[in-house]
Amino acid sequence: MRAGGATALAYPPFAPMPLYAITIFCSAFLLFLVQPIMAKQILPWFGGSANVWTTCLVFFQLVLLLGYAYADLVVRWVPARAQLWLHATLLAVSCLMLPIIPGAHWKPLGSESPAPLILGLLALTVGLPYFLLSTTSPLAQSWFARRYPGRSPYRLFALSNLASMLALAGYPFALEPWVTTRIQSYGWSAGYLLFVLLCAACAWYSLRALPPGDAVPASDMAPLAPDGKPTPGRQLLWVALAATGSFLLLAVTNHICENISSIPLLWIVPLSIYLLSFILCFDSSRWYRRDLVAGTLAAGLGVMGWTLASRELTHRLELQIAVFCIGLFVACMFCHGELARLKPSPRYLTRFYLMISAGGALGSTLVGIVAPLVLPAYFELSFGLVACALLLALQVRREHPVFITLAAVAVLFTIGTAGWGIDEFYDGTILATRNFYGVLRVQEGGADAGRHRSLVHGTILHGNQYLDPNLSRTPTTYYTSTSGVGRAIESMHPTTRHLKIGVIGLGTGTIAAYGSRGDVYRFYDINPAVIRIANTEFTYLKNSDATIETPLGDARLNLEREPAQGFDLLAIDAFSSDSIPVHLLTYEALTIYRKHMKPGGIIAFHVTNRYLDLVPVVERLAEAQRLHAVLVADEGEGALGSRSDWVLVSDSAGSLAVPLIAEAAKPIEPRRGWAPWTDDFNNIVQVLK
C-alpha cells in the first residue's frame, strides 16, 4: 500500500516469486562452477602451481567486488526502468564472449610474470559473463524487495550460497571424472545462455510491476528492522569480518595443496566449507550460537597455531587436513555469523553485499598477490590466525569474563605460535626466497666432513650437496648411483660415447654430476629462482664435465615447441614441495616426451611421494602406449642417499634388461581397472596411500 492510504500498486498476477529464486540459484551455480573449469584449463600452462588457483580466486573475488559495486550504484542512482534496460543490454553483449575457452596465444613463453598473465587471460575470456553473474544476487534481491515489499530477501542470499556449494561439490565427483574439459566449457556456456534468458525474464517481470514514472513508494522499500543508516565503523567491521574469512580460505588452501597437488578436489573442499558457513549463518539465526562458536574458535585457533608451527606435525597429512578444514569451518562460522548478526535492513542490502565483497577481495588479494611479494614464506596462515583471534577479542569484549579471557589467551597463543613457526623456518637457513611458484630455502647443517647444503621447496627436500671437496661432486639424495635414474644413466655410459640427457625439474642440479665431457644435460625449470640458486648456492652445474643448458619455462610447453632433442634419457623430476604437477603425468605428456627420445631411450619418472602411489599411474600410461616399464625402489646409499622410487619406461625391453637396471628392477602390478590419466581426466583420490 502507498503511505497515507493511497491505492495499491497493480502488480501483474503472473510475476511468479519463484522466478527470482530460480534466477539467483542458476547464477550462483554458474558463478562457482566456472571457477574450477577455467582454473583446470590453464593450470598446465603455469607448471601446475597451487598459486594458479589462488590467482584465479583473486580474479573472481575482484570481479565479484565490481559486480556488487555495480549493483549498489545502479540500485541507488539509476532509475528502475533504466537499470533494467542497461542490465539486459549487458547480458546480450556478454553472450559474444562464449564459449569460455582460452586461446592458445595465452600460453606463456616462460619469461612473463604469471599472475598478470592469468588475470588478463581470465578478464578477456570470462570477465564480462562472470561480472554479470556476480551482479545477479544483489540486483535480483533488490528487484524482489520492490516486487514483494515487507518480505526479507536475505534468505535468497543463503540460497545463492547453497547453489554455489552444490556446483563446487558436484564438480570433482559428478563432472570432472566423466566430462572432458572442453565439453565442460561448452556445457557451461549453454547454461549461461539459459541464465541470460532467466535474468531477462526476471527483469521484464520486475519492469511490468513498476508504477508509471518509476516512482517507488517509500513503504515498498521500508526497512524490516529499526536500523538506521550503517555507520562507517559498522561498514569497516563488515569488511574486516569478510576479509578474515577470505584470507583464511586462501591460506588454508595453499597449505593443503602445497603437500599433495593443485587439483580441483583440494581447491573445492576449503571453498565448500567457506560457503557452507555462509549458508548456515544467513539461512537462520539458529545456526550461529555466539557463545558456542566463540569458545570453540578460541580453542581451535590454538590447535591450528600449534599444528602449523610444530616440525613434528608437518608431514602428518591426515592431521593437517583435519585440523585446518575443521578450524576453517569454525573460523568462518564466527566471521559469517557475526556478519549475519550485523546485517542491515533490506534498504541497505546492496551496500552490505558490497562491503562483504570488498572484504573478500581484500583477503584474497593479500594472500594471492601481496604475500608472495612481501613474505619470504607461507607466513600468511599464521598471520590470519592472529587476525581472527583479534577479531574474536573485539567482538566478545562486552561478553562474560570467561569469553574475554578465552579470546585474550587465543590472541597471545596465536602470536606465540606464529613467532615459533618463523623461528623454526629460519633455523639453519642461509637464504630464503618466494615467488609465484612457491618458497625456496637453502639450509646448511652437519659438521666436519658431513657438512652439507640443502635446497628445500616448501617443506620437502629437493637436493643435498656436501661441502667437503671429496664429496661435493657425488650424487646424493634421490639421485645416487643405486637410484633408478643413477642406474639408467650409468648403464648407458659404456655403450654410448656421448649422452644427451633431459631433466624436467632442476633442483640443485645433482644429476649433472653424472655428466662426462661431450655429454649435454638439458634441465627444464619453470622457476627462475631455482635456476639462480642452482648456479649460485650449489656447484653441481658449474663443476659438471657436461655441457649444461637451462631453458626457462614450463617443460611441457617448451618440449611442445622445440624440435626433437634426441634424448638418451629424459628424467621427469618436477615437484612443487611434495605436490605433483599432474599435467606432466598424462597420456598426452608421454606422447610429447616420446617425440624427443632416441630409439631405446629411457624416460625416468621420479614418483617418490609420502601421500600418493604414482607407480600404477605411470604403468598405465606405459601400457596404453605399448611401452615397457619397471620400478626401481632404492632405500638410499648410506648417509648420502634418500629413499627413492623411479619408474623407468622405454620402447625397448632390452634397454631395461641391462644388468645394472635388471638387478634392482621390480615388475609393476598392473591396475587393469584404472584408466590412464589424460589432460581431461585424472583421479588423485584413487592414488592416495
Our CA angle for 486, 487, 489, nearest 5°, is 65
C-alpha neighbours within 13 Å on the C-beta side of residue 507? 33
Residues 165 and 237 in one domain: no
Q: Per-residue pLDDT tens for 26-45?
A: 998 999 899 889 988 888 78
Residue 683, C-beta contacts closer than 8 angstroms, at least 6 positions apart = 177, 677
Residues 152 and 236 in one domain: no
Residues 393 and 518 in one domain: no
Q: Give the pLDDT mean for 549-555.
A: 92
Residues 133 and 90 in one domain: yes
Q: Give the pLDDT mean for 573-584.
A: 73
Residues 73 and 203 in one domain: yes
Residues 537 and 627 in one domain: yes
Pair 603, 568: CB distance under 8 Å: no
Q: Which CATH number characterizes residue 610's domain?
A: 3.40.50.150
Strand-pair category, 452-457 with 460-466: antiparallel
Share of the chain above pLDDT 90, in %: 41
Pair 504, 573: CB distance under 8 Å: yes
pLDDT of residue 14: 37
Strand-pair category, 567-572 with 500-504: parallel
Strand-pair category, 500-504 with 520-524: parallel
On the question of pLDDT at 3 being above 50, the answer is no
Tell me the pLDDT band of 7, cut-offs 50, 70 and 90: very low
Domain assignment of residue 320, given as a range: 230-427
Share of the chain above pLDDT 70, in %: 89
pLDDT of residue 413: 87
- How many domains does the chain contain in total? 3
Q: Per-residue pLDDT tens for 156-169?
A: 767 787 888 888 88
Residues 172 and 280 in one domain: no
Q: Which residue has the higher pLDDT, 201 or 499?
A: 499
Q: Which CATH number characterizes residue 329's domain?
A: 1.20.1250
Residues 608 and 527 in one domain: yes
pLDDT of residue 551: 94
On the question of pLDDT at 332 being above 90, the answer is yes
On the question of pLDDT at 536 being above 90, the answer is yes
| 307 found inside a domain | yes
Write out the three cell numbers for 562: 622445440
| 608 found inside a domain | yes
Tracing cell 547464477 back to the chain, one arrives at 27
Pair 280, 288: CB distance under 8 Å: yes
Q: Per-residue pLDDT tens for 377-417?
A: 889 999 999 999 999 998 888 777 777 888 888 889 899 98
Beta strand segments in 293-426, E: none
| 511 found inside a domain | yes
Residues 267 and 192 in one domain: no
Residues 593 and 529 in one domain: yes
Strand-pair category, 438-445 with 628-634: unpaired
pLDDT of residue 215: 42
Question: How does DSSP classify residue 175?
Answer: I
Lowest mean pLDDT among 8-17, 488-497, 500-509, 552-561: 8-17
For residue 630, list its beta bridge partners. Answer: 648
pLDDT of residue 405: 86
- Name the amino acid, one letter, at 282: F
Residues 313 and 178 in one domain: no
Find, among 452, 455, 580, the residue nearest to 530 by Cα: 455
- Of 154, 182, 212, the residue that ends a domain is 212
Find, among 172, 353, 190, 169, the residue nearest to 271 by Cα: 169
Pair 214, 80: CB distance under 8 Å: yes
pTM of the model as a whole = 0.78
Residue 684, C-beta contacts closer than 8 angstroms, at least 6 positions apart = 260, 261, 263, 265, 266, 582, 612
| 318 found inside a domain | yes
Ranges of H-type helices in 427-539: 484-492, 528-536
pLDDT of residue 633: 93
- Of 367, 401, 427, the residue that ends a domain is 427
**Whole-number CA gyration radius for the chain:** 28
Burial of 680 from C-beta contacts in 10 A (0-12 / 13-18 / 19+): middle
pLDDT of residue 177: 74
| 1 found inside a domain | no
| 110 found inside a domain | yes
| 433 found inside a domain | no
- Of 160, 180, 212, the residue that ends a domain is 212
| 25 found inside a domain | yes
pLDDT of residue 222: 37
Residues 669 and 639 in one domain: yes
pLDDT of residue 453: 93
On the question of pLDDT at 576 being above 70, the answer is no
Count of residues making up the chain: 689
On the question of pLDDT at 224 being above 50, the answer is no
Tell me if the bond preceding 551 is cis, omega within 30° of 0.
Answer: no
Tell me the pLDDT band of 631, cut-offs 50, 70 and 90: very high
